[in-house]
Structure 1
């Protein structure tokens, strides 16, 4: 779902209670599972020298980058995927800026986004569109139809895992294989989610009315973290708003406290008819050890040169930055049952603090490095 209905999608090997890895897709599957459960227990696997048979497009070979890749993608920052969460109004940068970093957006309203036709989100999911999302922040929250109100038991099953940039940028052959082992009922995640009266209108696509409901973000975050990272993994949720979520985590096996922030950059919803509702959010995920210094700049200025290698010997690793689009297609099957087809796509961000991360971003060429599909069933509790 969204609206910090957080979607959880394990990102990479490791048990859901492992060091952590991807928190991000709101209410539907709480991109939390993708954000918290996305890494390999924090351990750096040895390079797999075997030829990869994956038919996804692989980036140009670079032994130096690939040897360092795992350290960048999994180093000290276990959570790699907080995805699907919240936001409110965006002005797209000029074409040149988008070419340099397509995911970057300023927080300002643009009427052009609201002119996009219904069906955009469905096409991005069913056709697995790999370009960055064309919409901006079109509403102050995701406003769900009235039939979403209440408490639900959510069963989320991974149906597919893809590596558009090849297994190397995904995290390696072993990481991709581990992620694909989550496919099917045996890897299902069960948790509860709650939707409450929203009392306001929604964004584009005809959504939003006096009877709309919104995700109970804090409740949903706590539930998804417990389900995916361990019953005692959630320490505190100091902030849970449509545009930003902050939480303090202690994932089972991590051995340290982590701060996780999800900042909403884009949001869109489409009311197709009385039984079908589509929504999507793009969030920036920032995960770092508690007390660690947050990055002053998360994105490289378009046209700027890569940052020079750091000369510091004992500096703390920079927080891992990713942007995640989570699109959800909901269908009301009966008053007590909702089916959802969901896709999460994780994009790398360039970093002014880490030259290797910058080069990995260049290699991705604006495509997502990790795409996952989920079949999600909501069963009404109350």
Structure 2
């Protein structure tokens, strides 16, 4: 139960870990969201490289309210992930936490900056701050000890939990799609490994999110997010599931300026 709660809640960390590059075919990600829950396989993504980059209107500190608005088990009753039914208790139950986005110098690849980015600084998420607040909002302050980032890769994160348990998240692929000046859509695929139980638990997750800048200040940004869970090859139901997701979760995210900013 704890494993599935961790996996379910950490799917939301997506907005703290995306890179604004690897543009998808125009309309592909928007169409994917519109087709929920008819998802048959992972979306097309490019290899994940570098740090996250956000549009300038994400700058500052925000109070985010996340609400689970729908969940689907496409292969039920034959295949249902542990904890799926208990997650129904989270339906329409808003959860709030603080996040912030900060400026940093862009990394250098050879003699060039990140492709398509020509700025003296770029906007990135404060990933340790954001992920720790998110994890504690869902799991409790005492359950989450700390968040660590791999110093050699911004795409690898380790969450340390009580009882010598760990959740390792590794981003493997991303894509983005800009539909207007005030809307962009992101998709990310990552691997999750839970250590510390009787046996390690591994799966693949895809999260596709459409962000929209509003003309209001409260909220100032809203997002529609769908997270899909796929079985790993080590799972006994892997071949029965084929390429299809075994669980789909849909969230509504609202960003309001933090009074602490």
Q: Note if 1:180 corresponds to 2:180.
A: no
Distance apart, 1:273 and its partner CA: 2.1
- Give the secondary structure class of the aligned counterpart of 2:47: coil
For structure 2, the 5+ residue unaligned runs are 107-112
Distance apart, 1:153 and its partner CA: 0.3
Q: Distance in 2 between matches of 1:182 and 1:327?
A: 20
* 1:323-342 alignment runs, 5 A limit: 323-334=204-215, 336=217, 337-342=220-225
Q: Distance in 1 between matches of 2:56 and 2:122?
A: 5
Which residue number corresponds to residue 154 of structure 2? Answer: 242
Q: Distance in 1 between matches of 2:149 and 2:35?
A: 35
Distance apart, 1:328 and its partner CA: 0.9
Against the structure 1 CA distance between its residues 369 and 145, is the aligned structure 2 distance closer, same or farther, given a 3 Å change threshold? same
Q: Distance in 2 between matches of 1:242 and 1:183?
A: 32
Count how many residue pairs are aligned between Structure 1 and Structure 2.
Answer: 246
Q: Distance in 2 between matches of 1:218 and 1:335?
A: 28
- Give the secondary structure class of the aligned counterpart of 1:346: strand
- Give the secondary structure class of the aligned counterpart of 1:192: strand
User: Which has the higher Rg, Structure 1 or Structure 2?
Assistant: 1
The structure whose RCO (Cα within 8 Å, separation 6+) is larger is 2
| Length-normalised TM-score, structure 1 | 0.58
Distance apart, 1:183 and its partner CA: 1.6
Match 1:161 to one of 71, 79, 89: 71
Which residue number corresponds to residue 30 of structure 1? Answer: 13
* 8 Å contact from structure 1 (residues 153, 190) kept in 2: yes
Q: In proportion to residue count, which structure has more strand?
A: 2
Distance apart, 1:258 and its partner CA: 1.0
* 1:161-310 alignment runs, 5 A limit: 161-171=71-81, 175-184=83-92, 187-200=93-106, 208=117, 210=119, 212-239=122-149, 241-250=153-162, 256-289=163-196
* 8 Å contact from structure 2 (residues 202, 232) kept in 1: yes
Match 1:364 to one of 241, 247, 258: 241
Aligned-pair Cα RMSD in Å? 3.0
* 8 Å contact from structure 1 (residues 24, 85) kept in 2: no
Q: Distance in 2 between matches of 1:361 and 1:233?
A: 30
Which residue number corresponds to residue 110 of structure 2? Answer: none
Distance apart, 1:141 and its partner CA: 3.1
For structure 1, the 5+ residue unaligned runs are 1-12, 32-82, 90-112, 251-255, 290-315, 352-356
* 1:308-327 alignment runs, 5 A limit: 317-327=198-208
Against the structure 1 CA distance between its residues 118 and 319, is the aligned structure 2 distance closer, same or farther, given a 3 Å change threshold? same
| Length-normalised TM-score, structure 2 | 0.82
